[in-house]
Every structure is written in structure tokens, then in C-alpha cells.
Amino acid sequence: MKVLKVSSWTIAAFVLPCLLLYVCLVFVPIIVSVYSGMLDWNGIGASKFVGLANFEKMFTNDSVFWPAVGRTFLLAGFSMLIQLPLALFVAILISRYVRRTSFLVSSYFLPVILSVAVIGQLWKTIYNPASMGGMINQILIKLGLESWTHSWLTEPKVAIYAIIVVGLWQYLGYHILIQFTGIQNIPADIYEAAKIDGAEGFKADRYITLPLIVPIFKISVVLSFIGSLQSFDLIMVMTGGGPAHATDVISSHMYNMSFLSMKYGYGSAIASFLVVVCLAATVIINFLFNRLDKRFN
């Protein structure tokens, strides 16, 4: 067999255009955002360099920022602890008990392809008060649980959890598809050999499925966590960050500061913080899963 020898200069010539494009689309905007975060600027007129003043204000003198950070991580926590384990459980059940899997998996995936505006309006109708036809409140009243009814999107202590439920519902099928695909790629011979040794059902899942699906599950974790940190569209459609900033997260607070309050420099500082958190989260998740993968292997 002849091996094609390619010089390093040839490889560089093919890689360089893509690398330049990636740098221009990713790293340059990040650098510009960090620099803009050091300006007192409304995005239109003259700007004034203020150094780290915006970052200092963000960390010490912004009553909305830290609660928004907390709600952002709350979204990520619910996704990690509820959505992903449930998606894995459903994927295992589908791969084991369902013969024609494509229709069922596609049905779970349907909410992912719907417009966020459609989903937001749909769930706003579901969350409406009973007098306005809200399905949840009407069901609770018929079940004799009238004390459990709420104005789901207008009560500060309840609204963020109502949005979390919608987010979990919307992207559950996305992670089912990812993890189902990972399970389908595990060779059937391994399960057959384990069955001979007496390992089948959930015992086989414990010793075969879970260890072998770790790399795929890591993809779900990274996508889910970073997606939670960047949550914006659903919140803006359903509540706009209200009531009284009770559903504001990092990205919605950044939007409000940049485009509604016309504090573009301060909004860029918040955006820079979000980028750093996303990068740090990705590094930490990769480190933890590498340790976990070495433990299984």
C-alpha cells in the first residue's frame, strides 16, 4: 500500500483559511466585546475608556446581576439533574422495548424544531389563569386542588420554575436523540456476551451501556450546560425577564443593559463574563469526564 506523503506546508495551506475564518468569527468578537466592556458607551455616540469600572460595578453594585447569575445556574442544575437522566432513561427504554424507533424518537424531537415564539405563546396560554382558559389551573380546580393554582408567570417566586419546566420539555427530545444514537452504536455482540454471563436488563445497562455511552453523554452535558448559560429567547418571549426581574438571567440582563438601557459598554462587560463562564464550564466538564472515562477504562 502506498502512503501519500504530504508536507506540513501543504497541510497548513488547507487549514489556514478555515483557521482564519474561525479566528475572525470567534476570537475577534470576544476581544472586541472585552474591549467594549471597558468603555462608557451607549453604542452610538462617543465612547469613554473607563477601564475595569464596568466590571467593578457588575460585581459589586448591580442588584440584578448576581440573582440573574443564580437563576442561570438554577436552569443548568435542573437540566443536569432532571432533563439528562430522564433523557438517558427514555433512550434506554426505547432502544430496548420499541421496534420501530424512528417515529417515537421523532415525536420526542418535535418540540426542538418548533419556533421558540410558538412554544412561548403555547405555554403562556397553558399557564393562563383559569378565568382565561389556562389549562393547568383548570385541571387543578377540577381535581379539587384550587389552593395549588397560581398566576404562573406573574408571581416572582413561581415564574422562573414555570419557565424551567418549558425548557426541560422543549429540549428533552434533543438529548433523547443524542443518547439514543449513542446506545444504538454500541455493538449488539457485547450485550449478547453479557447475557450469557447473566447480565441483562438494567444490570447490562449498568455495566455496559453507561460506561460505553460516557463520551456521548458528555456531549449532552456540555450542550445542555452551555445552552442553559445562554438561555435568552424563551425567557424574552414568555416574561421579558419580569416580573420585577424575577426571571432575568445573564443573557437577558445583558440584553436589557445593552439595548433597552443603552449602556452598551456595561452590557459588553456582562457578555464578557458570560463568555468566561462558558469557557470555564467547558474545561471543567471535559476534565471531569476525562477522569470518569479513565475510571471506566
Question: 152 phi and psi, to 5 degrees?
Answer: -55, -35
Q: Could you tell me the residue range of the domain that residue 202 belongs to?
A: 64-294
Residue 40 inside a domain? The answer is: no
| Count, residues in the chain | 297
Give me the CATH number covering residue 100.
1.10.3720.10
Residue 18 inside a domain? The answer is: no
pLDDT recorded at residue 297 = 62
What are the beta bridge partners of residue 49? Answer: 39
One DSSP character per residue, 183-234 reads HHTS-HHHHHHHHHTT--THHHIIIIIHHHTHHHHHHHHHHHHHHHHT--HH
pLDDT recorded at residue 39 = 94
pTM: 0.89
Closest CA to 246 of 184, 126, 163, 156: 156
* Dihedral class, residue 102 (left if φ above 0, else alpha if ψ from -120 to 50, else beta): alpha
pLDDT recorded at residue 138 = 93
Residue 50 inside a domain? The answer is: no
Single-letter amino acid code for the residue at 98: V
Single-letter amino acid code for the residue at 135: M
User: From the CA atom positions of the chain, what is the Rg in Å?
Assistant: 24
Report the run of H or E that residue 85 belongs to, with start and end: helix 84-97
Residue 179 inside a domain? The answer is: yes
Domain count for the chain: 1
Residue 4 inside a domain? The answer is: no
Separation of alpha carbons 56 and 54, rounded Å: 5
Report the run of H or E that residue 39 belongs to, with start and end: strand 39-40
pLDDT in tens, the chain (297 residues): 555 566 788 888 888 999 999 999 988 999 999 999 999 999 888 899 999 999 999 999 999 999 999 999 999 999 999 999 999 999 999 988 887 788 888 889 999 999 999 999 999 999 998 777 789 999 999 999 988 999 999 999 999 999 999 999 999 999 999 999 999 998 888 888 888 877 777 888 888 888 889 889 999 999 999 999 889 999 999 999 989 999 999 999 999 999 999 999 999 999 999 999 999 998 999 898 888 777 766
Residue 19 inside a domain? The answer is: no
Question: Residue 251 corresponds to which cell in the numbers above?
Answer: 443573557
pLDDT recorded at residue 2 = 56
pLDDT recorded at residue 4 = 59
